Structure 1
């Protein structure tokens, strides 16, 4: 099979790979349809549940393999199909369950799979997430994501599933939150590998954010004092600083690292235990909360009232949370309210550097790196000039640094654009048209990524 591929040039390799991927997607979609039909052929065992049926321990029972409202299936049905496909029985039950979840509770996504719009593997990942939802919530997710489930990473769609649970079944969401709180802890690995050990932390989301901010601040201090290790290494060193509370206090208070270096050339040697930094306050944590007015209006209302029993907000970097959780977080710390930025602001500057307010505008407008299929939602991004910046002294026009000429690229894709032969334009703020080195084109906007017709 592979002997025939040697004569393909790069463009032909991509064309062949796309064709094979589409064929595989079509086959996977048909397999889902066959799995659903297999369930139809194996309904609840005859007489199961009837009071006069003699039952012996271990006999076949009926099972619901998907969410509420889906038909039950004979317990042993999936084993034969799974064996024929080279799957375990559990994997076979998952396949059949995914098909039933999509067909009965997510009909729009099921139709998108049937028409080839949505790859079956993406649909299955969503189906596995929605099983815990009540019928109404699953229908809401189905309606919300069908238009762009094929354009964005699964993690971003899964956030909608979490929001649906909070909105339509706040009691279950509360039970899950309480259970998660009981699982909090800090675990230090038992094994040492080349002098390092791992630490795993499960903590309240706000506490985790504050801890991460403090780790970052200490790492910055070490860097300012002359530590030239990589940022991640300095963050690991910060754990050692925090392990000594007095060292942490010393590090986060005092006249600042520059003064220490001037007074004591060996300051770096003592930075890990007794360095100083200007301003002794804890690291600042910023929460970007996106909250609809209805979330406040219906807070505390019954779930039947306009389907908004669970008032939901979205916290950048954390996902969907209840309004009550937001209130709890706000009540535990000092709060600074900043003005809402106008994301349609077309202000510009002549300098290459991006002003802080403009950076905020671009990051809030495009929270995800706009490279095709990228899922990077962090704020650690480079603001790239889509049309390369030309200094005014070299004839560049005024106002080149403006939200309409900036893109928040993650470092990997910034490098790929700069050195990898990719190019792009921004016909309007927040919409990006990409062209690959071999001529493939993609449109990326707030709905995700859409491949465009291939041009040579």
Structure 2
């Protein structure tokens, strides 16, 4: 029988007893304060501050522990004549950090209930921050940032020299706490490349060769399996594009399954090259045999980082080079049927009859391989200095910052079609319609590729919210760059149908007010929480927008929600 253990000892478990969780005594239950949103908000923010302080203090204590266990008096790991197994001096951090006694990390790790390896890494990260990333370390000492984010940056920059690490520190230290980690990590990666472009390109080549692999998992009882692949970013772009192309062709031939299902079928088709080529060379209404339509935008727009003086956009329109084409014809060549030229007006084979493998092979021999390549749109943003010198950072959406040399290698065997650069600072002419013209959408996506909501990480295909709601007949130019802000669908619903409010005092600078009064300022530097102070309310009131005139109101302005 289950027993309940309370202050008065155990008693039999009775499911029908509604007072089971109350001990047997005559004392009334303690009176609790009524639960209010303000109490919960205070608990949450207080817990976060306490957690930040605890983890920052842990890093400070790790450096103190290292100072108490210096390694100067011990032989280094490369010293000769040291007894086997004896303690040595080790450098747990990067260039410029002091030596530490090897065994010190183990005792520290035991104190915090972690492994010796984790203890050594904690000391190494803390020493990197103190000696190589001084701006981040200052913010750690002031408990202004999350310790785990600072540690990730220390680990990412460990291979850099002390001077190069300082460059990254200066570039990103002020942004911690304002951006979600996904966006911040992209800036860290870019700063690492800028610190030493040549080494970044070499490291990318070495890591790429070491980490590439393909793994096929075990099939489940539904006959499905998982395919995992880690390939060059350029190869991943081409693979995604050709899969999408095949999926669209399957739909054109009557496959009514979902796009994801057709993409999975398309990947399987690549295991049968002849069948895939047959599908790629089958005419589709509105296309010529053997040609290609635009593939997916596998890399969308991205904004230039602060300080970049110019941008450039390049589109690629080819796949792997001709020399990389697989040799499908090692076997003796079969008799070649009498087929029309596939580049001519008539497609090979008899309508309604599937081609044989021999017919496909014969037709493929006459094809221009470039006609089978998918078309890929790749938006690159390059600083003017990178264009002039050929070294630096190239920013690509969906891939992240890359060394310019790496991107040059991607494009080295492609047919490139350059598209005009959208004039980001110039803006576009406002329109008097709720619908947003495509050119304006493209402009906004390049200008602000991520959501404008506080701490948001959403990017890609976002809604464009009218920060001053559109009102039919209330004046021209309501749909304009200065009145649009990218939001995810949920965030758009929050400001349209929920209790969140938003204002855009300047293009790209927004203020949001949460349901219980907390105010956030969001700009190109990230999110700045202003809280609920009188200053925050004054900033909010100052940004009060003026609505377009109501019809027949003789110029009277309708005020927005406050």
TM-score by length of 2: 0.68
Cα distance, 1:67–1:47 mapped onto 2, change above 3 Å: closer
**Pairing partner for 1:10 from 32, 37, 55:** 37
> Contact between 1:348 and 1:401, CA under 8 Å: does it hold in 2?
yes
Task: State whether structure 2 residue 473 is matched by structure 1 residue 444.
Answer: no
Query: What SS is found at the alignment partner of 2:224?
Result: coil
Cα distance, 1:137–1:193 mapped onto 2, change above 3 Å: farther
Task: State whether structure 2 residue 223 is matched by structure 1 residue 188.
Answer: no
Query: What SS is found at the alignment partner of 2:234?
Result: helix
Task: State whether structure 2 residue 402 is matched by structure 1 residue 402.
Answer: no
Task: State whether structure 2 residue 405 is matched by structure 1 residue 347.
Answer: no
Equivalent residue, structure 1, for 2:153:
126
Aligned positions of 1:353-392 closer than 5 A: 353-377=435-459, 379-390=460-471, 392=472
**Pairing partner for 2:242 from 214, 239, 243:** 214
Residue deviations 1:145-174 (CA, integer Å, cap 9, x gap): 122122112333333443344334445434
Task: State whether structure 2 residue 458 is matched by structure 1 residue 429.
Answer: no
Equivalents in 1 of 2:31, 2:232: separation in Å?
55
> Contact between 1:186 and 1:201, CA under 8 Å: does it hold in 2?
yes
Cα distance, 1:51–1:407 mapped onto 2, change above 3 Å: closer
Query: What SS is found at the alignment partner of 1:439?
Result: coil
> Contact between 1:126 and 1:154, CA under 8 Å: does it hold in 2?
no
Task: State whether structure 2 residue 398 is matched by structure 1 residue 317.
Answer: yes
Equivalent residue, structure 1, for 2:329:
none
Equivalents in 1 of 2:249, 2:474: separation in Å?
38
- Aligned-residue offset at 1:317: 2.5
Equivalent residue, structure 2, for 1:205:
233
Equivalents in 1 of 2:489, 2:497: separation in Å?
12
How many matched pairs? 422
Cα-Cα RMSD: 3.2
Equivalent residue, structure 2, for 1:32:
59
> Contact between 1:134 and 1:169, CA under 8 Å: does it hold in 2?
no
**Pairing partner for 1:290 from 375, 381, 385:** 381
- Aligned-residue offset at 1:424: 1.8
> Contact between 1:125 and 1:154, CA under 8 Å: does it hold in 2?
no
Equivalents in 1 of 2:424, 2:115: separation in Å?
51
Equivalents in 2 of 1:413, 1:436: separation in Å?
12
Cα distance, 1:335–1:257 mapped onto 2, change above 3 Å: closer
Equivalent residue, structure 1, for 2:142:
115
- Aligned-residue offset at 1:243: 4.2
Query: What SS is found at the alignment partner of 1:336?
Result: strand
**Pairing partner for 2:285 from 240, 245, 256:** 256
Query: What SS is found at the alignment partner of 2:417?
Result: coil
Cα distance, 1:50–1:381 mapped onto 2, change above 3 Å: closer
TM-score by length of 1: 0.82
Cα distance, 1:362–1:88 mapped onto 2, change above 3 Å: same
Equivalents in 2 of 1:50, 1:335: separation in Å?
52
**Pairing partner for 1:106 from 133, 136, 146:** 133
Cα distance, 1:422–1:250 mapped onto 2, change above 3 Å: farther
Task: State whether structure 2 residue 146 is matched by structure 1 residue 55.
Answer: no
Unpaired segments ≥5 residues, structure 1: 259-269, 271-279, 300-309
- Aligned-residue offset at 1:435: 2.0
Identify the range of structure 1 (327-336 vs 44-53) with the bigger mean alpha-carbon deviation: 44-53
